[in-house]
Amino acid sequence: MSTVRLNKLKKPILVAGPCSAESKEQLVSVTSALQKTNSISILRAGIWKPRTRPNSFEGIGEKGLIWLKEVQEELQIPVITEVATTLHAEKALENGIKNIWIGARTTVNPFSVQEIIEVLKGEDVSVMVKNPIHADIDLWQGSIERFIKAGVENIAAVHRGFSSFMNSEYRNLPMWNIPIELQRRFPTLPIICDPSHIAGKSELVKTVAQKALDLNMAGLMIEVHPDPKNALSDPQQQLTPIEYNQLISRLVLRKATSESQMVLNQLEELRSQIDKVDEDLISTLVSRLDLIKQIGEYKRSENLSVLQLKRWNEILNSRTELAKKLNLDEVFIVKFLELIHQESIRIQTDINSTLD
Ligand code: PEP
Ligand code: MN
């Protein structure tokens, strides 16, 4: 009972446990409550905690590894912990902890990732790579590639959201398009969602978890603590074992595909209608951009500026009004119009520079 085979685990993979290990009793209490309901595949617990400011609880340190090792053996549950330095990695291995996660603050630094890999390579380990703090998919991909290159292929990615200055209901913005693109780049890589660090507050964890399953993510990493209010780290976002079990029992599992031919045929039929609509959309765009070219040539011959602010405002207002009447989302239509306007400006400024 130590190294998990991430690709072989039953889905959804349920990684649950406290933000930080605080005592052996705490770990046993959470694990046994979750084992009774079969709602845990791997126990998570942080031993060294990356904290924004000093003088806060920085993790229990090395002595917690002994608890993890004992719980792993006594309760027959694989345990995963975070390593951020080569020393952490060595200590984890020495204590028989073979499942490792790389935290968001480590993924941002290729030097640290590479140093940790030098310790882990050749060992029978599993590794989960959290996304970097900021929304840089290439950096996330780069870390994953470094592991693969070193022959550490028993890996998964963890989507824990992205830090932002924007006011938001989330602690870390989910930006779902990023894990979706990562899955496109690594089609067989299990991607696990960490709704606790995305949500930042316990009430929001369930909504994020369901969304992750709707997107066919491979599993969830959720913080569970016997007494969240008194937790030494992340007290607002941890669930009690009862809340967690309730959440898991209410989640709706989605299938990637269906075995029923009737369902597949129906989907196929709707998709062929979409194909036709997309063809029409593209032809309509081509007609619009042809007109943009004509207008651009006319503006140039009459010595008029490309940007016509009054007209752009009229377009923005009238199209948004119409879209709203037709129940289209306002943010979506504004983004769409801005994209078209940008392309129109590009085409018309190109005309000016090529004809000069
Ligand atoms: C954690 O999982 O407790 C943690 C510190 O995560 P992250 O690296 O995603 O902030
Ligand atoms: Mn945490």
Confidence of residue 355 (pLDDT cuts 50, 70, 90): low
User: Which atom of ligand 1 is nearest to 130's Cα?
Assistant: 9
Q: Which residues pair with 111 in a beta bridge?
A: none
**Given 1.10.10.60, 1.20.59.10, 3.40.50.970, 3.40.718.10, which CATH number is that of 261-353?**
1.20.59.10
As assigned by CATH, the class of the 6-250 domain is alpha beta
Per-residue pLDDT at 356: 54
Which residue's C-alpha comes closest to atom 6 of ligand 1? Answer: 103
Domain boundaries, the chain: 6-250, 261-353
Confidence of residue 1 (pLDDT cuts 50, 70, 90): low
Q: Does pTM surpass 0.75? A: yes
The most distant pair of C-alpha atoms in the chain lies apart, rounded to whole Å, by: 84
CB of 232 sitting under 6 A from ligand 1: no
Q: Round to whole Å and give the CA distance between 79 and 66.
A: 12
Closest-lying ligand to the alpha carbon of 44?
Answer: 1
pLDDT tens for each residue of 138-179 = 999 999 999 999 999 999 999 999 999 888 999 999 999 999
User: Which atom of ligand 1 is nearest to 44's Cα?
Assistant: 2
Which residue's C-alpha comes closest to atom 2 of ligand 1? Answer: 19
pLDDT tens for each residue of 276-313 = 999 999 999 999 999 999 999 999 999 999 999 999 99
**Cα angle, residue 89 at apex, residues 60 and 19 outer, rounded to 5°:** 40
CB of 46 sitting under 6 A from ligand 1: yes
Above pLDDT 70, what percent of the chain? 99
Return the beta strands (E) in the chain as ranges: 13-17, 42-44, 79-82, 99-102, 126-130, 155-159, 191-193, 219-223
- The two tokens of residue 329 are 């989302």
Q: Round to whole Å and give the CA distance between 128 and 160.
A: 12
Residue type at 9 in one-letter notation:
L
Please state the rounded mean pLDDT for residues 190-212. 98
Q: Round to whole Å and give the CA distance between 330 and 198.
A: 25
Same-fold call for 6-250 versus 261-353? no
Residues with Cβ within 8 Å of 214's Cβ and at least 6 positions away in sequence, in order, are 254
